[in-house]
Structures are given as structure tokens and as C-alpha cells.
Structure 1
């Protein structure tokens, strides 16, 4: 049974603060999950709501075993829009970020293909390399952003669940952590472990359909091959707290374009391209 409130306990907050991740109870019911799975099918078929395009449009690949990822699909799919701005999801994110508000930074829809148990071709497996999300986001005035990863099926090591490195959100930003599309997990792990100088411990996040894992923008995470016969589907919401503003760190990303043609230092990410998922003011 899914929860009906996004209030989290102090114990939950402390776990997240210590480990850099936290797993929710089931937040989405069977009908909502089915709707999100249908949204996947429509998006990969270029069946869009409205006449616009996502921020990063997926293009067909001749290799059926390759990972598919699309950014800001909430622009072109109403189900995804309702999902990534869900107020319960937003309230949990706000609580983990110690904020009165959670705004959408952007979303991702991710399809990890099923390769079957016999396929050992790790170079075409849809692995997601170990990385820190913030390595790709360096245009905000702080790093206190959170990622909410929504499972659309029971997800474990057999079908390529996400694994995290607990406590790695305290290691700072590591230049070697920009390896999302590097499918050689062991070499990436070796490089990041050497750069950080820290002990490496992996924890797989085993989720039931409709559960959500939350992790800090600095938390190192990745995922391996999907050995099942079915794709592993997910919807991902990246969320930011109240007061998040543009800062030129020399690594501007696509999202600054949404501030206008000439973004200014300190300009808030608070326009319609960054919708509110939760606000304590509207709850009162």
C-alpha cells in the first residue's frame, strides 16, 4: 500500500545525512506504475503530448542492447510531468534537503535493456558507470540537490538495480566521477577509489515497483547489466531546494539556457521551466 504523506522522520533525515541516500516506502500504486510504463512506450515511439520537444531528444540506435536516456520528458508527456512534480515526492525531497520547497531541476526517463542470462557482452549491456550527478550540474550556488529514482518494476541485481557508495556524498566533487556512459564499471571504480583515497563499499538498492530511492548530488552511484529478459524501466526526478540560483563555476550546463539568453550570477532557477513539486507555503 502506497503512502499518502511525504512527511519523513528525523531518523530518516539522519540516515540520509550520514549515508547520502534513503529508500522510501511504495509511493506509486499499480495504476500509476502502468501509466508510467505506457509513457515509456510513447516516448520511445516519439508520440509526444503537444508540439514541443524534450531538452535532450533520444534517437534510435542500431544496437538494441544499448541504454536509452532522455532529459526533460515532462515537456512532452503529461504522465511524466505529473510524476516528477508529485507533491509527496517533492515533500520527501524537501525534507531530505532541509528545505521548505522542492523544485524540479530536470527529469530523466531511462530504459535499461534486458539482455538475458546468457549475454556476457558487458560492452553492450546498458551498464551505467559510477558517477556523481553534480559533476554534470556545476552551475548552481550549492550542491544540496537530490535525485529521486522511481522503480517501475521490482528491481534487484538480476535486472541491473542501482548501487550506491554510502558516505561518498562527503568526499567532495571528484573529477573522475563523470562516467555515466562508461560501461567498464571496474576501471571506473578503481579510478574513483584512487582519486578519493577512501574505502569503497557498494550497497545495492533493492526496490519494489513504486518505491523510490533518493540520493545526494555528490553520492557515487552506478548500475550493472540487466540479465533479465525484460527492460528495466525508471523515471527520475532531480530536485533542488528553495533559493537555488545560477553560479558560474566554469562548467555551465544546458539548464542555464532556461534562464534566458543572458543568465546573471545569482539569478534564481524559479521560472516555469523549473516547476514546484512541493512548497510548505501552499500546504498551510
Structure 2
């Protein structure tokens, strides 16, 4: 009788950038993500890498770009000393350092596990800079990020099974305006008018969403993170943040990931990325090519 082979034991571990994905994303981690709507990793990026990312973001805000072709949308003009949040979408166009991080196969491989898919593409990325306004700024709302669902902004995509990786570029907690999530809120489905990233009234948004048909308590949990840790959350998980009450900026890079077969769903909501499909895009057209680079497995466009 021929010898039977243990197929499981023979499988090669998935190792990306020195990280064993099989050991990192265990069944318990998958259960936590699916039940709570988010998961915070151990440190995935070194102090040296974090310093490079911070420098790259500062260069970008100063107008120093690695490409003369600018994104179609993104950073608004911010006066020096303004308490307003700076947000640059598709920052990977502007900085080679940022592109290496936000399109990395490491994030893509982890996102693939959480989304339960084989192929992952970048939907878009963000560089976010929240100025510090000091400990007396508790009533200042300019730095607030409203409670929102990412998919509330992305309804032109064919699935809500998308995943966001939020990279802390310094130690982050409530004091410096770190992200907060509503635990388990991804199970509530797509809420009405949840495209509220730019709204500043956190209490008002909580009241609005709590009055909708939700099944569970409003459990507001801070993502307390060290520099180099990454929070991964579902596209339906409500999240937001308050003011930065320190004197130092709170910076992060964000990678919004989608299954590789995500397509255009017209008639629901405009998104600036749609312009990259061209002037006559039809339902079912894939979000593919260099505007939505493949992250996992690392492919050739």
C-alpha cells in the first residue's frame, strides 16, 4: 500500500517580509476580527521604518513629491498653525516610501486572511496628519474624525467585504486623538448616511446611528497602539476619533484593501476614484490596473 502524505504538514508557510502569516493570523485572531470588527497587530514596522514614513509624510506636506503627476483628489489647503486635519488620498502617487508601505504584500497577505480571499488590491490609501492643539483644546472639534463606516463612502464598489489597515506612526491613544472603534458594529450592516468622515459632532453622530435599527450596544473602544502596530478593521465597522490634546502631530498611513475581483456598481454613490475607469464605465467593470495596484499575491500589472 503506498505511503500516505500529510498534505497539511507539507505545506510551505506563508512568510512575507519576514513575518509568518500563518502564525500571525491564527484561528483565534480570525474569530476576534469577525466578532469584534477589528484587530490590532503586534508591531509590524520597525522604528527605522516609522521614521522613514514620518519623514516621507512631512516631505509630502511640504510639496516635495516623487512624481510630477498628482492624484485626482486629496489634500486641501491648510494654513500653518491650523487645527484642521490634513488628509491626502492616493498618497502612493506622491511618495515612493509611502507607496512601498501602503501597497505592501505584508498588509495584503493579512487583508486576504481577514477578507477570506486569494487576491487583494488597493482601493486607495491615505496619509493623515492631525495637529496637536494642547491639553486645553478639549472643545476644539477641527481635529475630530466623525463616526463613519468606510463602505458608507465606497458604495460604488461591488462588495462591503473590504478591509482597512491603519498604521500608527507614533504611540497612539486617546490623548493624541487616536482611532476609536464601535466594537461589533460591522454586524449592523450598512447604516443610512454613514459617509460621515468629515463630520465633527461625535455625540450627534452617535445619537443618529443609535436611532437606526442596530442590534447591540454602542461600545466605544480606543485603539491604543505603539508606533509600528497596525489596526485592521472591516469596512462596516464604525470608527472615528477626537482631538489631539498634545503638542505633537498624530500621524498615520492607511491602506484600504479590496478583494481582487471588486467591480464598479453604478447609481449608488460617486467616489473620486471612479474617474480612473474612464468616461463611459459600465456596471461590472473591474477596479484593476495601476490605479488599484495588486497587493497580494504580488503580481505584475
Does structure 2 conserve the Cα–Cα contact (< 8 Å) formed by 1:176 and 1:195? no
User: Which consecutive residues of structure 2, in runs of 5 or more, have no partner in the other structure?
Assistant: 1-16
Q: Which residue of 2 aligns with 1:137?
A: 154
* Aligned match of 1:223: 241
Q: Is the 8 A contact 1:3 1:27 kept in 2?
A: no
Please, what TM-score do these two structures have when normalized by structure 2? Answer: 0.89
Residue 154 (1) aligns with residue 171 (2): yes
Instruction: Find the structure with the greater CA-based Rg.
Output: 2
Q: Check 1:21–1:76 CA distance in 2 against 1; reply closer, same or farther (3 A cut).
A: same
> Matched residues in 2 for 1:49 and 1:19: separation?
38
Deviating more after overlay: 5-14 vs 23-32: 5-14
Are 2:137 and 2:243, in contact at CA under 8 Å, matched by a contact in 1? Answer: no
Take 1:280 and 1:250, find their aligned partners in 2: how far apart are those partners? Answer: 31
1:34 maps onto 2:51 in alignment? yes
Corresponding position of 2:19: 4
Contact 1:100 1:280 in 2 (8 A): no
Q: 1:76 maps to what in 2?
A: 94
* Change in CA separation of 1:221 and 1:196 when aligned onto 2, cut-off 3 Å: farther
Task: State the TM-score, normalized to the length of structure 1.
Answer: 0.94
1:128-277 alignment runs, 5 A limit: 128-198=145-215, 199-277=217-295
- Secondary structure of 1:252's counterpart equals coil
Equivalent-residue separation in structure 1 for 2:299 and 2:156 (angstroms): 27
1:261 Cα deviation after fit: 2.1
Q: CA deviation at 1:9?
A: 1.0
CA distance in structure 2 between the aligned counterparts of 1:55 and 1:164, rounded to whole angstroms: 29
CA separation in 2, counterparts of 1:231 and 1:105? 26
Describe the superposition over 1:226-253 as per-residue Cα deviations: whole angstroms up to 9, x where unpaired.
1111000000000001211111142131
Alignment match, 1:127:
144
SS at structure 1 position matched to 2:211: helix
> After the TM superposition, which residues 12-51 of structure 1 pair with which residues of structure 2 at under 5 Å, given as runs?
12-51=29-68
- The alpha-carbon deviation at position 97 of structure 1 amounts to 0.3
> Which region of structure 1 is more displaced relative to structure 2, 5-14 or 156-165?
5-14
Q: CA deviation at 1:178?
A: 2.2
Secondary structure of the residue aligned to 2:100 is helix
Q: Secondary structure at the match of 1:26?
A: coil
Root mean square deviation, CA, Å:
1.7
- Structure 1 CA distance for aligned equivalents of residues 30 and 283 of structure 2: 31
Return 45-54 or 242-251, whichever deviates more.
242-251
Give the distance between the partners of 1:250 and 1:216, measured in 2 at CA: 20
Residue 104 (str. 1) matches residue 119 (str. 2): no
The Cα of 1:280 is off from its aligned counterpart by 8.1
1: CA distance, partners of 2:237 / 2:52? 30
In structure 1, C-alpha distance between the alignment counterparts of 2:127 and 2:287, rounded to whole Å: 22
What residue ranges of structure 1 are gaps of 5+ in the alignment?
Answer: none
How far 1:120 moved relative to its partner? 2.9
Does the 8 A contact of 1:6 with 1:89 survive in 2?
no
Q: Which runs of 4+ in 1 moved over 3 A?
A: none
